[in-house]
Amino acid sequence: MPDSAFDQLVTFLYTAALAQTAAFYEQALGLPLVLDQGACRIYRVRGDAFLGFCTRDDAPRNPQGVILTLVSQDVDGWYERLCGQGMAFEKPPAHNPKFNIYHCFLRDPNGYLIEIQTFLDPAWPAPAARG
């Protein structure tokens, strides 16, 4: 087993609608596009964490079992910003005492469930320094 940690993380999801997906992640969420491979687009979420979308004809139409959680200290700000862009939320910001988080939910153009949350538990690690 290697004695070094992994260097980066890329999570890939399928899409049948790359143009709408690109508009959502680039314009609505403001994620920077770091690599356009034609059929796949990869975005930087933060640091060395990336999110990629690849065109597939068999992409799920109503994906189940996937929650893409974006962690932010400003859940209310994101909610207001995205509502202002006409985004419909499945659940407005609320405290979840079971997991000690504050969060809201909406869906991207593919139907993937997006959670914007902050951890209220002080044991959750602070974000790594930007660099």
Task: Specify the CATH number for the domain of residue 44.
Answer: 3.10.180.10
Specify if 1 maps to a domain: no
Secondary structure (H, E, C), 40-104: EEEEEEECCEEEEEEECCCCCCCCCCCEEEEECCCHHHHHHHHHHCCCCEEEEEEEECCCCEEEE
Q: Which two three-digit tokens encode residue 89?
A: 């939320």
pLDDT at 2 over 70: no
The domain tally of the chain equals 1
Specify if 125 maps to a domain: no
Range of the domain at 86: 9-119
pLDDT of residue 93: 98
Residue (of 48, 57, 45, 46) closest to 15 by Cα position:
57
Supply the pTM of this predicted model.
0.91
pLDDT at 130 over 70: no
Question: Mean pLDDT across the stretch 45-61?
Answer: 93
Give the amino acid at 52: G
Give tens-digit pLDDT for 74-98: 999 999 999 999 999 999 999 999 9
pLDDT at 131 over 60: no
pLDDT confidence of 62, banded at 50, 70, 90? confident
